[in-house]
């Protein structure tokens, strides 16, 4: 390597650091914009949940908006006829509650701030993504060699998944504030405690399996995180709905926040879908790791702490899916299982890398 | 379905007021959803029948129930945890010893619970064996049941379609037969399995059998993985060998430094091959904060298969093992071996060898022992053994600083520090000895003139003269060594196949929804046909109403909505939704 190349790489690494700090600044602005969205939203009266839950009868919700079609009648007259409308019925016993209107709560100003927040999040994402890319270029390898690099990639992916869901027209804006807050936390920890200068890989990590195994692992974690956030909000919203349905009266702050969230059933379904969608990929990640271990250490499974906790996480998610799919363990109990599973994932990431040392002690901290 | 849709009391309190109606709905859904999955029904009853057989049957039903499977699954994840927190003998026996010293109080309990060998412990094995018995007991009958379902036909439309989770209806001027024929081709085109009712007034359709198939494949794949795991464990062999540069290894039991066969492995079955280590290259980060971190390791070997195979050259790297005859040779570690020669008082060379030293840190500060077991005769003419505890650093910081820590893993400024002992090394005592450590209980340390322990730090080529003319020790050169792990584990192919099956099956099971659609068309009293469509899925899903809406819209093109004659009661259901 010539001195020139080294210098270029070091300046790229520096650029990466500036980009990461800049993305933190942008996310901070997004954070305040989200706060403004929630504050303005709190001034508009919503109260739809309460009305639905205290209504005398549980009317069945209709789904599927059918556009009207024009039909030419025999007598030359034109009649406007409806397409068939599909009526869907919730399972007996389920609460039939409409989703909340979102953080802006119907307030135009709130909505404006919400849009600003989302735009800032997009900007933050682009800047952070560039930061990760610059880091990768500075070392000419996958940017996943130590915990600092995992962390910045992790939050980039989490925001990316959120924005992708938004772009697909999914109703996920309620996630914005929680996500931006935790992304800031993650980046704060990464830059303050986990920072490692940009450098080459140790030989054990130098394999194409790094690309496959580590990128999917980080992606799974980021997506599981989105699911876990949905689950946690589900638990809050569920107790709120249960309280209302039982005739109780939740506090004003709780009401103001929770009535704007989607219905508990929606949140639950959202979290389930995310977790179920990621689980096969997580399975694949573990298998890819095992194949890599087989090449690197001669044993594809040796109960190294990292392997143990990946396994525990996997089994916990499998338990959750089982409970949801068959045992009818829906609702709160399944949600606790899902949170336990995610806690295992997080522990596997921070705890095992830093506190337990096995063969995966590449934490670089 | 009704058995699996148990709701918590909290949910029930928010339920529709008309409990009787709900029960009726449930019953209708149960009949229409029969065999929509092969999931076993939950069994909450006690043992039926008397005697041992009744109990056995009850026990078996419990073991193969979902609830117990779930509990076992959860126990398995909890059971795996202690092994990550407490050092494990099979990974690092030294660490286990350290842990035992630090937590003496807990040792008896931990040993009783087999906490140092969690993954081979009786209780951990019990959990997973029970789980897999449960799995087999659950999956095999389900597989047969599913095969039966594959040849069956979708069940006929329930009486009240409007009780199904998704429902739509409209009136059309097309004739009922026509509508049903259209419906059947439409559903067939969307790859539903369809069946016209005997009476001719409805069509039943079902799709998504792959979900069940995927689920069964996944569970069967888990069994395959377990079998592969057990097979591999029983028939594998695995051993470690340190090889000096220029030296060789041949695959026989006596050559190994340590050897761990599976319990059913026959050591005569070791495939015959041999290799020599021609060269070993290592490079390290020369600058920056991670200075000294390893960058590349590469071992150049010449190997030959069988007893007299043709020599072939190959490279072994950390992630690139060499495969010979089904066995894999992995590069695990490397280090330095100072070449030391020792002479006796008469000047005769009694020892000359490269002595491997064990790395102590990332910069390859290494420790070891030079043991002269034979041939040394002291000044008094008595046979004695010599021992030197040695510390080697490839890059010494400089004469000023007293500490023997290496500054860099490459050979920039090597030093060898020796403490010299004489007496009996204790190698004949029958106890296994650590080659890197000196047992000094039967030895005396050489003392210098002032009575201090005699020690010296040698640069390459330097010689130290033992006190009182006891001989000399020369640091002649430096060799490299590499450690290899040689292993063969059968069943890897099966494990990989199982793993692929698991992922594919899982994707099928999670992303495909099994569902039924019914279409009914009957002529109303006014001669206009009433079309009803309903859908039922395995689980509640927003996709089902969407799919039904799409199907209805397509069918509606062929059976257009007839103008409403006048407001009527029987179309009330379809409007009810508009209020929601
Ligand atoms: C090694 C242990 C096991 C693991 C890791 C495991 C994992 C899973 C997973 C991930 C699913 C998918 C959930 C879904 O469809 O949403 C599933 C479904 C299922 N499992 Fe297991 N399972 C295990 C053992 C068992 C056992 C012992 C039984 C029998 C009692 C069983 C019966 C089922 C059934 C009936 C389903 C649902 C099928 C359906 O959704 O149609 N599993 N399992």
3-state secondary structure chain A: CCHHHHHHHHHHHHHHHHHHHHHHHHHHHHHHHHHHHHHHHHHCCCCHHHHHHHCCCCCCCECCCCCEEEEECCCCCEEEEECCCCEECCCCCCCCCCCCCCCCCCCHHHHHHHHHHHHHHHHHHHHHHHHHHHHHHHHCCCCCCCHHHHHHHHHHHHHHHHHHHHHCCCCCHHHHHHHHHHHHHHHHHHHHCCCCCCCCCCHHHCCHHHHHHHHHHHHHHHHHHHHHHHHHHHHHHHHHHHHHHCCCCCCHHHHHHHCCCCCHHHHHHHHHHHHHHHHHHHHHHHHHHHHHHHHHHCCCCCCCHHHHHHHHHHHHHHHHHHHHHHHCCCCHHHHHHHHHHHHHHHHHHHHHHHCCCCCCCCCCC
Q: Which of A2, A50, A81, A88 to mutate to test the interface with B (most CBs of B within 10 A)?
A: A88
| Higher pLDDT among residues B560 and A356, named by residue | B560
Mind telling me how many Å the CA of A207 is from chain B's nearest CA? 7
* Packed helices A215-245 and A147-167: angle between N→C axes, nearest 10 degrees: 60
Residue nearest to atom 22 of ligand 1 (CA): B219
Among A110-114, A350-354, B39-43, the minimum mean pLDDT is found in: B39-43
CB B197 within 8 A of CB B157: yes
- Give the DSSP letter string of B473-519: EEEEEEEEEEEEEEEE-TTHHHHHHHHHHHHHHHHHHHH---EEEEE
Determine the Cα–Cα distance for residues A344 and A348; give it in Å rounded to an integer.
Answer: 6
Task: Give the confidence band of A327 by pLDDT, cuts at 50, 70, 90.
Answer: low
Residue nearest to atom 24 of ligand 1 (CA): B135
Q: Which of A50, A67, A93, A310 to mutate to test the interface with B (most CBs of B within 10 A)?
A: A93
Query: In this complex, do A294 and B492 lie within 8 Å of one another by their Cβ atoms?
Result: yes
Which contacts (CB < 8 Å, 24+ apart) does range A191-196 have?
A191/A20, A191/A21, A191/A24, A191/A148, A193/A365, A194/A146, A194/A147, A194/A148, A194/A151, A194/A363, A194/A364, A194/A365, A195/A148, A196/A146, A196/A147, A196/A148, A196/A149, A196/A364, A196/A365, A196/B289, A196/B290
Query: In this complex, do A295 and B319 lie within 8 Å of one another by their Cβ atoms?
Result: yes
Atom of ligand 1 nearest to the CA of B65: 30
pLDDT of residue A344: 93
DSSP B570: G
Determine the Cα–Cα distance for residues B162 and B535; give it in Å rounded to an integer.
Answer: 10
Mind telling me how many Å the CA of B430 is from chain A's nearest CA? 32
- H or E segment at B221? helix B209-235
Determine the Cα–Cα distance for residues B263 and B258; give it in Å rounded to an integer.
Answer: 15
At B39, is the secondary structure helix, strand, or coil? Answer: coil
B266 touching chain A per CB within 8 A: no
Determine the Cα–Cα distance for residues A248 and A242; give it in Å rounded to an integer.
Answer: 8
pLDDT of residue B3: 35
* Packed helices A176-192 and A3-43: angle between N→C axes, nearest 10 degrees: 150
Q: Which residues of chain B have pLDDT under 70?
A: 1-35, 37-50, 288-290, 398-402, 428-433, 539-542, 564-580
Q: Between A and B, how many CB-CB pairs are < 8 A?
A: 266
CA of A318 to the centre of ligand 1 (A): 8
pLDDT of residue A160: 95
B228 touching chain A per CB within 8 A: no
Sort out which chain B residues have CB atoms less than 8 A from A269's CB and list them. Answer: 542
CB B388 within 8 A of CB B446: no
Mind telling me how many Å the CA of A365 is from chain B's nearest CA? 11
Give Cα separations from B347 to A46, B341, B422, B448, B557 (angstroms).
100, 11, 17, 20, 109
CA of B142 to the centre of ligand 1 (A): 11
3-state secondary structure B411-473: CCECEEEEEEEEECCCHHHCCCCCCCCCCCCCEEECECCCCCECEEEEECCCEEECHHHCCEE
Task: Give the confidence band of A362 by pLDDT, cuts at 50, 70, 90.
Answer: very low
Q: What is the Rg, in whole angstroms, of the alpha carbon atoms belonging to chain A?
A: 24
B172 touching chain A per CB within 8 A: no
Atom of ligand 1 nearest to the CA of B40: 35
Task: Give the confidence band of A96 by pLDDT, cuts at 50, 70, 90.
Answer: low
Give the residue from B375, B416, B415 showing the smallest Cα distance to B397.
B415
Mind telling me how many Å the CA of B394 is from chain A's nearest CA? 20
Nearest to A64 among B81, B485, B546 (CB): B546
State both tokens at B539.
């689980």
- Ligand 1: residues within 6 Å at CB? A 276, 318, 321-322, 325-326; B 37, 39, 64, 66, 69, 73, 131, 134-135, 138, 212, 215, 219, 222, 506, 509-510
Sort out which chain B residues have CB atoms less than 8 A from A344's CB and list them. Answer: 77
Query: In this complex, do A315 and B69 lie within 8 Å of one another by their Cβ atoms?
Result: no
Give the residue from A112, A92, A89 showing the smallest Cα distance to A41.
A112
DSSP B237: E
**What would the mean pLDDT of A16-32 be, rounded to a whole number?**
92
State both tokens at B467.
């006190």
State both tokens at B168.
């739509």
Residues 6+ apart with CB under 8 A from B299: B277, B279, B280, B315, B316, B317, B331, B334, B482, B484
Q: What is the Rg, in whole angstroms, of the alpha carbon atoms belonging to chain B?
A: 39
Sort out which chain A residues have CB atoms less than 8 A from B16's CB and list them. Answer: 57-58, 92-93
State both tokens at A289.
């790791």
A200-251 pLDDT tens trace: 666 666 677 888 898 999 999 999 999 999 999 999 998 888 888 877 777 7
pLDDT of residue A206: 66
Nearest to A63 among B80, B318, B545 (CB): B545
Query: In this complex, do B503 and A58 lie within 8 Å of one another by their Cβ atoms?
Result: no
Mind telling me how many Å the CA of B468 is from chain A's nearest CA? 48
Task: Give the confidence band of A71 by pLDDT, cuts at 50, 70, 90.
Answer: very low
Determine the Cα–Cα distance for residues B542 and B539; give it in Å rounded to an integer.
Answer: 10
| Residues paired with residue B488 on neighbouring β-strands, in sequence order | B237
Query: In this complex, do B318 and A204 lie within 8 Å of one another by their Cβ atoms?
Result: yes
Q: Which of A3, A248, A270, A280 to mutate to test the interface with B (most CBs of B within 10 A)?
A: A280
At B546, is the secondary structure helix, strand, or coil? Answer: helix
pLDDT of residue B11: 39
Determine the Cα–Cα distance for residues B579 and A103; give it in Å rounded to an integer.
Answer: 25
How far is Cα of residue B348 from the mean position of the Cα atoms in its chain?
57
Query: In this complex, do B165 and A88 lie within 8 Å of one another by their Cβ atoms?
Result: yes
Task: Give the confidence band of A10 by pLDDT, cuts at 50, 70, 90.
Answer: confident
CA of A319 to the centre of ligand 1 (A): 8
ipTM computed for the complex: 0.80
At B349, is the secondary structure helix, strand, or coil? Answer: strand
Q: Which of A298, A313, A337, A344 to mutate to test the interface with B (most CBs of B within 10 A)?
A: A298
Give the residue from A271, A277, A295 showing the smallest Cα distance to A213.
A295
* Residue found under tokens 């099966």: B494
Buried b (16+ CB within 10 A) or exposed e, A154-175: bbbbbbbbbbebbeeeeebbbb
At B567, is the secondary structure helix, strand, or coil? Answer: coil
Is the pLDDT at A111 greater than 60, yes or no? yes
Taking every pair of Cα atoms in chain B, the longest distance, rounded to a whole number of angstroms, is 130
Query: In this complex, do A242 and B14 lie within 8 Å of one another by their Cβ atoms?
Result: yes
φ, ψ dihedrals at A20, nearest 5°: -65, -45
**What would the mean pLDDT of A267-296 be, rounded to a whole number?**
90
B328 touching chain A per CB within 8 A: yes
CB A147 within 8 A of CB A217: no
CB A99 within 8 A of CB A49: no
Q: Percent of chain A beyond pLDDT 90?
A: 35
Nearest to B91 among A79, A302, A325 (CB): A302
Give the residue, out of B41, B65, B69, with the most ligand 1 atoms within 8 A of its beta carbon, to mutate for a pocket test.
Answer: B69
Is the pLDDT at A5 greater than 60, yes or no? no
CB A329 within 8 A of CB A304: no
Mind telling me how many Å the CA of A196 is from chain B's nearest CA? 9
Rounded to the nearest 5 degrees, what angle is found at the Cα of B285, between the Cα atoms of B284 and B287? 140
Tell which phi-psi region holds residue B381, choosing left (phi > 0), alpha (psi between -120 and 50) or beta: left
How far apart, in Å, do the first and last CA atoms of chain B sit? 26
- H or E segment at B537? strand B529-537
Give the residue, out of B149, B219, B502, B515, with the most ligand 1 atoms within 8 A of its beta carbon, to mutate for a pocket test.
Answer: B219
* Residue found under tokens 């929606």: A266
Give the residue from B341, B338, B340 showing the smallest Cα distance to B366.
B338
CB B510 within 8 A of CB A277: yes
CA of B9 to the centre of ligand 1 (A): 26
CB B239 within 8 A of CB B256: yes
CA of A322 to the centre of ligand 1 (A): 5
A261-279 pLDDT tens trace: 888 888 988 999 999 999 9
Query: In this complex, do B549 and A87 lie within 8 Å of one another by their Cβ atoms?
Result: no
HSE-up (13 A, CA, CB side) for residue B53 = 2
Query: In this complex, do A303 and B90 lie within 8 Å of one another by their Cβ atoms?
Result: yes
φ, ψ dihedrals at B286, nearest 5°: -80, -25
At B395, is the secondary structure helix, strand, or coil? Answer: strand
Instruction: For B501, name the nearest residue in chain A, comparing CA atoms only.
Output: A284
B450 touching chain A per CB within 8 A: no
Query: In this complex, do A327 and B168 lie within 8 Å of one another by their Cβ atoms?
Result: no
At B298, is the secondary structure helix, strand, or coil? Answer: strand
Query: In this complex, do B84 and A356 lie within 8 Å of one another by their Cβ atoms?
Result: yes
Determine the Cα–Cα distance for residues B497 and B518; give it in Å rounded to an integer.
Answer: 39
CA of B337 to the centre of ligand 1 (A): 55
pLDDT of residue B374: 86
At B369, is the secondary structure helix, strand, or coil? Answer: strand
| Residues paired with residue A62 on neighbouring β-strands, in sequence order | A87
């Amino acid at each position: 390597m010539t001195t020139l190349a080294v210098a270029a790489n070091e300046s790229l690494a520096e650029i990466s650091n500036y980009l990461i700090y800049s993305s933190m600044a942008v996310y901070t602005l997004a954070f305040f914009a989200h706060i403004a969205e929630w504050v303005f939203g709190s001034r508009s009266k919503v109260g739809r949940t309460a009305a639905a839950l205290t209504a005398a009868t549980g009317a069945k919700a209709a789904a599927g908006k059918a556009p009207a079609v024009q039909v030419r009648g025999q007598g030359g007259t034109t009649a406007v006829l409806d397409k068939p409308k599909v009526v869907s019925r919730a399972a007996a016993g389920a609460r039939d509650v409409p989703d909340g209107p979102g953080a802006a709560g119907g307030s135009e100003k709130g909505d404006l701030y919400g849009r600003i927040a989302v735009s800032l999040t997009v900007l933050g994402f682009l800047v952070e993504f560039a930061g990760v890319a610059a880091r990768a270029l500075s070392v000419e390898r996958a940017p996943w060699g130590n915990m600092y690099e995992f962390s910045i990639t992790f939050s980039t992916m989490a925001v990316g998944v959120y924005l992708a869901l938004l772009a697909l027209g999914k109703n996920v804006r309620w996630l914005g504030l929680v996500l931006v807050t935790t992304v800031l936390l993650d980046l704060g920890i990464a830059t303050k405690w986990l920072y490692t200068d940009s450098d080459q890989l140790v030989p054990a990590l130098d394999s194409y399996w790094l690309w496959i195994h580590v990128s999917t692992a980080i992606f799974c974690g980021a997506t599981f995180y989105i699911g876990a956030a949905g689950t946690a909000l589900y638990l809050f919203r569920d107790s709120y709905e249960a309280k209302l349905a039982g005739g109780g009266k939740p506090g004003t702050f709780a009401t103001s926040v929770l009535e704007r969230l989607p219905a508990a059933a929606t949140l639950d379904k959202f979290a389930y879908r995310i977790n179920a969608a990621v689980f096969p990929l997580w399975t694949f990640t573990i298998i890819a790791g095992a194949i890599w271990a087989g090449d690197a250490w001669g044993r594809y499974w040796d109960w190294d702490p990292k392997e143990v906790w990946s396994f525990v996480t996997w089994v916990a998610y499998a338990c959750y899916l089982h409970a949801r799919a068959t045992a009818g363990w829906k609702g709160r109990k399944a949600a606790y299982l899902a949170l336990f599973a995610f806690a295992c994932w997080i522990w596997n990431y921070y705890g095992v890398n830093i506190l337990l040392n096995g063969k995966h002690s590449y934490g670089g901290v | 379905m009704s058995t699996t849709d148990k709701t918590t009391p909290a949910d029930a309190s928010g339920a529709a007021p008309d409990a009787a109606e709900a029960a009726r709905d449930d019953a209708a859904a149960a009949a229409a959803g029969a065999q929509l999955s092969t999931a076993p029904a939950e069994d909450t009853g006690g043992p039926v029948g008397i005697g041992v057989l009744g109990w056995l049957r009850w026990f078996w039903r419990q073991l193969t129930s979902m609830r117990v499977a779930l509990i076992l699954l959860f126990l398995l994840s909890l059971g795996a945890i202690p092994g990550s927190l407490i050092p494990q003998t099979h990974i690092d026996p030294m660490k286990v010893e350290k842990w035992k010293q630090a937590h003496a109080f807990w040792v008896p309990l931990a040993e009783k619970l087999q906490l140092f060998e969690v993954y081979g412990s009786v209780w951990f094995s019990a959990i997973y064996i029970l789980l897999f018995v449960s799995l087999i007991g659950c999956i095999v009958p389900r597989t047969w049941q599913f095969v039966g379902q594959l040849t069956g036909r979708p069940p006929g439309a329930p009486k009240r379609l409007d009780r199904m989770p998704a429902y739509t209806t409209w009136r059309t001027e097309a004739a009922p037969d026509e509508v049903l024929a259209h419906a059947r081709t439409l559903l067939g085109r969307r790859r539903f399995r369809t069946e016209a009712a005997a009476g001719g007034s409805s069509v039943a359709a079902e799709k998504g059998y792959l979900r069940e198939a995927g689920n069964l494949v996944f569970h069967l794949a888990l069994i395959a993985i377990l079998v592969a795991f057990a097979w591999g464990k029983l028939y594998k062999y695995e051993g470690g060998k340190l090889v000096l540069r220029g030296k060789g290894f041949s695959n026989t039991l006596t050559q190994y430094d340590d050897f761990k066969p599976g319990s059913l492995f026959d050591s005569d079955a070791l495939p015959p091959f041999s290799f020599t280590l021609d060269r070993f290259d290592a490079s390290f980060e020369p600058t920056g904060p991670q200075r000294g971190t390893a960058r590349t390791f590469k071992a150049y070997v010449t190997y030959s298969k069988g007893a007299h195979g043709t020599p072939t050259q190959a490279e072994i790297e950390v992630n690139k093992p060499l495969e010979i005859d089904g066995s894999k040779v992995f590069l695990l570690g490397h280090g330095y071996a100072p070449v030391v020669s020792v002479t006796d008082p008469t000047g005769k060379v009694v020892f000359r060898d490269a002595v491997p030293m064990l790395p102590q840190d990332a910069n390859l500060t290494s420790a070891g022992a030079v043991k002269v077991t034979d041939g040394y005769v002291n000044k008094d003419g008595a046979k004695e053994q010599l021992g030197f505890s040695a510390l080697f650093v490839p890059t010494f910081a400089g004469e000023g600083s007293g500490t023997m820590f290496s500054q860099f893993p490459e050979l920039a400024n090597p030093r060898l520090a020796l403490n010299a002992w004489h007496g009996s090394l204790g190698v004949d005592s029958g106890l296994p000895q650590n080659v890197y450590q000196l047992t000094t209980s039967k030895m005396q340390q050489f003392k210098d003139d002032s009575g201090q322990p005699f020690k010296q730090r040698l640069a390459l080529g330097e010689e130290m003269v033992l006190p009182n003319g006891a001989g000399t020790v020369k640091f002649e050169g430096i060799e490299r060594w590499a450690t290899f792990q040689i292993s063969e584990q059968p069943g890897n192919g099966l494990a990989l196949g199982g793993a692929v099956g698991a992922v594919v099956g899982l994707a099928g099971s999670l992303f495909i929804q099994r569902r039924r659609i019914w279409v009914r068309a009957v002529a109303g009293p006014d001669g206009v046909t009433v079309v009803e469509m309903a859908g039922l899925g395995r689980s509640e899903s927003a996709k089902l109403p969407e799919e039904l809406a799409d199907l209805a819209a397509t069918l509606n093109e062929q059976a257009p909505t007839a103008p409403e004659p006048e407001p009527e009661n029987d179309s009330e259901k379809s409007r009810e939704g508009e209020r929601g």
